[in-house]
């Protein structure tokens, strides 16, 4: 799953799923992947680092605010 940084994630992009793919998808995705929306978030969300941490990996790459 590719996550594009905003604003390139906004609108009809190559990461937005078709309705068929969306209804059959299992996993983590963002508004930018949902069909029939124009949302572009989560933008710069560190998805790879979050998923790595969820699998018991390091959290060193997750930015803290």
Q: What's the pLDDT tens digit per position in 49-64?
A: 888 888 888 777 566 5
Residue 8 in any domain: the answer is yes
Domain count, the chain: 1
Residue 40 in any domain: the answer is yes
Query: Where in the sequence is the domain holding 11, given as residue range(s)?
Result: 1-57
Residue 37 in any domain: the answer is yes
Residue 49 in any domain: the answer is yes
pLDDT at 43: 62
Q: What is the largest CA-CA distance in the chain?
A: 37
CA distances from 37 to 53, 56, 57, 58, 59 (A): 29, 33, 33, 34, 32
Residue 64 in any domain: the answer is no
pLDDT single digits (tens) 6-58: 888 888 899 999 999 999 999 888 888 999 888 887 666 777 788 888 888 87
Residue 7 in any domain: the answer is yes
Residue 44 in any domain: the answer is yes
Whole-model pTM: value is 0.63
Residue 63 in any domain: the answer is no
User: End-to-end distance of the chain based on CA atoms, in angstroms?
Assistant: 25
């Amino acid at each position: 799953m590719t996550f594009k940084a905003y604003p390139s994630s906004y609108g009809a992009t190559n990461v937005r799923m078709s309705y068929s793919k969306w209804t059959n998808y299992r996993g983590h995705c963002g508004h930018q992947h949902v069909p029939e929306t124009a949302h572009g978030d989560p933008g710069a969300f560190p998805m790879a680092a979050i998923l790595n941490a969820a699998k018991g990996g390091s959290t060193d790459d997750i930015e803290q605010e």
